[in-house]
Structures are given as C-alpha cells and as structure tokens.
Amino acid sequence: MPEAYRVAIMGATGAVGTELLELLEERNFPIKDLILLASPRSVGKELMFKGQSINVKAISDANFADIDLVLASAGGGISKEWAPRAAAAGAVVVDNSSAFRMDPSVPLVVPEVNPEAALSHTGIIANPNCTTILMSVALWPLHQCQPIRRIIVATYQSASGAGARAMEEVKQQAQAILQGKEPSTNAFPYPLAFNLFPHNSPLNEHGYCQEEMKMVNETRKIFGVSDLRVSATCVRVPVLRAHSEAINLEFSQPFEVDKALKLLQAAAGVKVVEDWQANYFPMPIEASGQDDVLVGRVRRDLSHECGLELWLSGDQIRKGAALNAVQIAELLISKQALKIKA
Amino acid sequence: MPEAYRVAIMGATGAVGTELLELLEERNFPIKDLILLASPRSVGKELMFKGQSINVKAISDANFADIDLVLASAGGGISKEWAPRAAAAGAVVVDNSSAFRMDPSVPLVVPEVNPEAALSHTGIIANPNCTTILMSVALWPLHQCQPIRRIIVATYQSASGAGARAMEEVKQQAQAILQGKEPSTNAFPYPLAFNLFPHNSPLNEHGYCQEEMKMVNETRKIFGVSDLRVSATCVRVPVLRAHSEAINLEFSQPFEVDKALKLLQAAAGVKVVEDWQANYFPMPIEASGQDDVLVGRVRRDLSHECGLELWLSGDQIRKGAALNAVQIAELLISKQALKIKA
C-alpha cells in the first residue's frame, strides 16, 4: 500500500481546478484527504471526487499545516499571497500561476524535460505557461539530439486559455452571429467567434505581449539555455479547447526529418500525427482531452539549410496546465521527495 | 468621356465573381457591355449590375472576338481551356486561377508591387494567390528599402478561401455543435467550426502543401527575386472572411521599427492598425470588406538582430482576388494598354 497524501486544490472550481480533480481521480493519485479551496464566492459548492461529495472551502480557512501538497490554480494574486504561507507551513505547492515562474529560487518544471529541477524546490514548484509546456515537450527531444539555435513560433490559442467563462462567451457570440445579432464581449476585448486577434495580454516596450514573453523566458529557463533565441506571435482563435503552434526551428547543422520523426515518436508525452496522403495532422478537436502533445508536419525548412518546421496541437488545460502539475507531484512521489508531514 | 470596354466575368456566380461585379460597379469601371459567364448549371441565373438584370450565359457560348477584357475566376481547369482562346481572339484575360501563374510568359501582378510586369503580357495576366497578394502588398515597401533575405510566415486562413459554400458549411457546423450535434463535412475534410487544421491542399515530396508553395514561388516571381528564401505554414481557421498572417522577416541589416512603420503608413494598399495600449491590431472582422491590407504589431524580432515581426489581416476575396484583378485592368487602362477591339 503506497503512502497517501493530504492534497489541496486551490482554485478548485475553475477550468484547471476541475481538470485537476478529474486527473487525480483518473490517475488514482494517492490521496488520504482532499481539500478543495476557492474564492469566497465559490465557498459551499460541492464537487464530486471518487463518488464522494466534497465541500469547497475558502482559501483563508485552509490549515496548511495539515496539507502535504497544494495544487494551486487560482491566479497569480492568490498564489503570491498563499503559496509562500503554504510552503512555510511545510506543504509543497505546485503553482500553475505565473507568480513564481521566473523566480530564480523556484524550479519551473516540465517533467518530460527537466524533472531533476523539481527536486531542488524550497516549497514552491512552478508549472509553466500552457503554450510553453506544449512547445517544450515537442522540442526537447530534438534539442537533446542537436541544440536548437532559434525558435520562431506562431500560436493558435483556444478560448479555454482564458477560462471556462471565455469558452462560454465564444459559444454565445457564435450563436448571436448565426442569428444575425451583434455578439457581446466580456471575457475578451473583441469578438472571438468567427474572428481572431493577437493575444490580449499587455505589451512590453518592444511590442511583445506577456504571453509571448512567457514563451521566450520560460522556454529558456526550462531548457537551461539562458540566451536561447525565441520569438513568438501569440494569437487567440475561435477554438474552444486545445492550442496549436506553427514552429520554425534553426539548428547549427541540418536535421534530418526522419531522425526528427524517430525522436518524436520515441519521446514521452508526444504523439506523432501525420498522414500526408490524407492531409491529416494535429487538430485541436483531436488534441482535446488527450494527455499527449500531437506533433506533425515535420519538414525541412525550405528557407534555411539547418531549419525544421513542425506543427502541434495540445490540450492546454490538460498537459498545458493540470496534467503537468499532477505529473510534477507524481515525479516528487516517485523520487520519494514528497513528504507526509507528521 | 473615357473609352468603355466590353468586359466578361468568367465564373460570375462564385464568391470572387460576385465581388468582381460589385467592384466594377463601385469603382465605376468603364464598361460598355458586361457579359456574365459561368458553368452550365448557373446558366439562366440573373445578376444585377447598376440596377440592370443580366443573364448568365455559358462560357462555351461566349464570343470572345467581341470581348475586350475577361476577368476569369472559374477555376484552373476552366481557365486552362478558355483563357488561351479568349487571348487568341484578342481579349486580355486577367486570370484569378493558378493555371498560368508560374508560366514564364505570363506576368504575375500585384499593382502595388510590379505594375510594369502587366504591360508585357501576351493576352493573359495572372492574379496571384490570396495569401501571396496580401503578404506582397505589406512586404514590398520594406523590401524596396532593404532587401528581405528570408520570410517565415504562418497563415490564419478563413473559410471563404474555399468559396461561398465553405463559408456556409462553417456556419452550419457551428450551429450543429452549439446544438450538441455532430457537424457534417463536405467542402472541407474535417470540421472547421471551433477547430482548425493545416491547409488541405496536396503536399509535395518535401511536406509543403500547394498553398504554401504558392506563397514561396509566387512571391519570388512578383518580387523578381528567384531565390528569395520563404517558408510558409498555411492553416485554415474558423473565420468566415479575411485571412491573417504572422510574418517573420530577416534582413541583412537591422531594420528600425519606426522606419518600417513610416514606410508602411505611406504605402499604397496598406493601412497600419496599431494601438499598443488597447491591444488593438488587425483582425479579420475589420479587414473584411476593406480594400487595404491591415498591418500591425511591427516589432524587432527578439531572436535576430536583423529581424522584424509583423501581423496582417486582409480581405482575401477583395484585395486577395477580385480587387487585385480589377486593379490590374485599371492599370492597363491608365497606361493605354487595354485596347478596344474593332
């Protein structure tokens, strides 16, 4: 009988929280006690776990001294306030927000890429941004074989990246447009149904938005290459769930396509989806609900002798958020690095 | 009173044909006689032009000896058959299909880029592919200032690129999905509503699809740079109308963003749309129905000292097809190069 843990989900009622709950059940995570935490307006809600109803409690009512593991997905502000308290009380926090990702003392972990980093935590482990996780999983097997010199990526990000409310908004907008009405906007600044727009996070002085800089800076940290050359264009598209990415890679030497395909086929967390005859490649509707990142259209870059092009789709709520967090916790357990407090 | 021409629209009932009809009226193109041609199944349909109803005739019934200008948009097969006949009968054909684009004896023209090429025609002038036209218009002002060394582009192509029927299909699919039903597919191999997929044109032996190779080869021909390095990833997205493109450019020298913006602001056919504070940039819903290609997010490429990134949206039925064809005809007229036959 393996040891079992007292686990808290912080932000249990959100899109990622809901997925965390499902994954913990599906993967039979060793849980002794599951504590569901959320903001005051969700307190009292009941969520099901393994056939049992669990009451949602306020984060401020949590007793972190009695919790071994916190899976946090309640936004950066909440994490900034509560993750250090939980860590100080001896819990390990796997934090899905951007609050600690670039903190040099906090490991930023994709288990398929840099599992060893997770072991050097001091109470908080950061889960990378969704687009970064998906890209890292797909590129790491290639990077290990031959260091990547430059990445140019354009994203196709689904509504779910902005939460369950945004998914609902896109559906309502589509309904309105089909009925010849004006779509209303709330979660997003512009209508997304039958439209698209560059990612609406704030821009820095160089014109890159936060989402793009996450792809740049987080990939560098995860890969351990502080000067890795990355440029990203992040775009929201009217897809409900799962992100896609068109990725152009530059190496120092030519990278044979067959070799790249073999590496990807053998890589953990990657599923190669390619049928040239049928024009069948990764699509968000097929990536949705899958653990693996779907990768395809691997081809030599016509414009550069040492370039490769590839295309991916991945479920950004699952591998891009909740699953990666659970995998980090499982990794700690497998390395006997998750303690049950007395 | 300017001279007026006998003009035929070949493929008058399609998405581009409809737009051609509108543009000829809107721009008050000097027409003496308008002949609407289409496939047998559309014969007998009536279309309105300047308040008059015109009967659609079969292409095989056209008497090209009495036609000065043919605007052809009925597909490659039809153009291959009929454009040479019309040209042999002395008409000038502006052909919107891909049939003659790469023919060395046929000019491939974007009036803002290579107007002089139009004058060297021998009866047929090719209109480039939609994605190529939009990109060419936006990049030419920069290329003239400093030659572009390499282009990496990822497209976000709307349903209308596959015709009016495809637009209708996406709406029907969205309706089905909103009602919890399975979407049916017909124009496209996979559902496009709330989904996306790499462009479904046939792939060559290097894994690039036809649409991508059009961007490579046509841009080279239009720019007159036979070895211009271009790599494209073309993707269909659930947008009804107007294509968008994320473009990464490499130059030999650094290209100042301010300079690029000034050149774009002054360029014919381009409208710079940028408000960093409001995260307001080109969007397909705003590009739809506009003549100009909307360009924004012009920024220094973080990954390359001589790189620029930019983003565009353009109406691919209008500037990407019908408008460009009409502009080519207007260009011929302005150069006294469109003859009225005896």
* Nearest CB neighbour to A175, from listed B178, B196, B216: B178
Report domain extents, chain A: 5-128+321-334, 132-316
Confidence of residue B3 (pLDDT cuts 50, 70, 90): confident
Contact, B193 vs A283, CB < 8 A? no
Residue B2 has pLDDT above 80, yes or no: no
Residue B336 tokens read as: 């006294």
Q: Decide if A231 and B303 are in contact by the 8 Å CB cutoff.
A: yes
Check pLDDT > 90 for residue B160: no
Segment B42-61 shows an average pLDDT of 96
Residue in A with minimal Cα distance to B179: A175
Residue B237: C-alpha distances to residues A9, A79, A110, B168 (Å): 35, 35, 29, 14
How far apart are the C-alpha atoms of B102 and B132, rounded to whole Å? 13
% of chain A surpassing 70 pLDDT: 99
Q: Read off the DSSP letter of residue B159.
A: G
Residues of B with a catalytic annotation lie at: 130, 243
Rounded CA-CA distance B185/B11 in Å is 24
Q: Which residues pair with B270 in a beta bridge?
A: B293
For residue B321, which amino acid is it? A
Q: How far apart are CA A232 and CA A39, in angstroms?
A: 33
Q: In chain A, which residue's Cα lies nearest the Cα of B300? A: A206
**Contact indicator for B292, B233 with CB cutoff of 8 Å:** no
- C-alpha A268 chain-centroid distance: 16
Please spell the DSSP secondary structure of A54-86, one letter per residue: EEEEEGGG--GGG-SEEEE-S-HHHHHHHHHHH
Alpha-carbon Rg for chain B, nearest whole angstrom, is: 20
Which residues does A169 contact at the CB level (< 8 Å), separation at least 6? A159, A185, A186, A187, A188, A192
Nearest to A195 by CA among A183, A211, A186, A187: A183
CB-closest option in A154, A191, A257 to B246: A154
- What digits encode the pLDDT tens for the residues B104-128? 999 999 999 999 999 999 999 999 9
Residue B199 burial (10 A CB sphere; 0-12, 13-18, 19+): buried
Task: Kindly state which CATH superfamily the domain A132-316 is placed in.
Answer: Dihydrodipicolinate Reductase; domain 2 (3.30.360.10)
| Whether pLDDT at B342 is above 80 | no
Q: Are B169 and A194 in contact (CB under 8 A)?
A: no
The pLDDT value recorded for residue B341 is 83
Cβ contact (<8 Å) for B248 and A235?
no
Helix axes B15-26, B323-334, angle to 10 degrees: 40
Does residue B62 surpass a pLDDT of 70?
A: yes
Q: Which residues pair with A314 in a beta bridge?
A: A243
d(C-alpha A282, C-alpha B179), whole Å = 25
When pLDDT is cut at 50, 70 and 90, the band that residue B180 belongs to is very high
Please name which of A153, A55, A161 lies closest in space to residue A98, comparing C-alpha atoms: A161
Known catalytic residues of A? 130, 243
Find chain B residues with C-beta within 8 A of A302's C-beta. 206, 208, 216, 229-231
For residue A160, list chain B residues with Cβ-Cβ distance below 8 A: none
A126, A140, A144: which is closest to A72 by C-alpha? A126
Residue B103: DSSP 8-state: -
Residue B150 is nearest to which of A195, A238, A303, comparing CB atoms?
Answer: A303
Q: Which positions of chain A have pLDDT values less than 70?
A: 1-2
Q: What confidence tens digit (pLDDT) does each residue in A231-252 have? A: 999 999 999 999 999 999 999 9
Identical topology for domains A5-128+321-334 and A132-316: no
Residues A335, A333: Cα–Cα separation, whole Å: 5
- Per the CB < 8 A criterion, the answer to whether B103 and B126 are in contact is yes
Residue A289 falls in which region: left (phi positive, over 0), alpha (psi -120 to 50) or beta: left
- Angstrom CA distances, A301 to A97, A136, B73, B216, stand at 35, 20, 32, 12
Half-sphere exposure of A220 (CA within 13 A, CB side): 15
Say whether B231 and A303 touch across the interface (CB within 8 A).
yes
8 Å CB contact between B31 and B9: no
Q: Is B101 annotated as a binding residue?
A: yes
pLDDT computed for residue B1 by the predictor: 47
Backbone angles phi, psi at B332, to 5 degrees: -60, -45
Spatial separation of the C-alpha atoms in residues A160 and A240, rounded to whole Å: 6
Query: How far from chain centre, in Å, is Cα A116?
Result: 19
Which pLDDT does position B163 carry in this prediction?
84
The continuous run of DSSP H or E covering A284 comes out as helix A284-287
Question: Residue range B199-218: average pLDDT?
Answer: 97
In the chain, the amino acid numbered B9 is I
Topology (CATH) of A5-128+321-334: Rossmann fold (3.40.50)
- Start-to-end CA span in chain A (Å): 18
Binary contact (A156, B298; C-beta < 8 A): no
* Chain A residues lying within 8 Å of B195, measured CB to CB: 239, 283-285
Q: Which strands make up the sheet holding B307-314, listed edge to edge? A: B229-233, B148-156, B243-251, B307-314, B293-300, B270-272
> Does the pLDDT value for residue B276 go beyond 50?
yes
Closest residue by Cα to residue B308 from B243, B259, B235: B259
The answer to whether the Cβ–Cβ distance between A207 and B299 falls below 8 Å is yes
Provide the pLDDT confidence category of residue B101 given band limits of 50, 70 and 90. Answer: very high
The minimal CB distance from A198 to the residues B195, B238, B311 is found for B311
**B232-248 per-position pLDDT tens digit:** 999 999 999 999 999 99
What is the least distance, in Å, from the CA of B95 to any CA of chain A? 28
Q: How far is CA A242 from CA A287, A315, B265, B283, in A?
A: 6, 4, 36, 21
Which structure tokens are listed for B214?
């059009």
Residue with tokens 């609406």: A200
Displacement of CA A230 from its chain's centroid (Å): 18
Distance CA B310, CA B169 (A): 31
Q: DSSP label at B108?
A: B
pLDDT of residue A2: 63
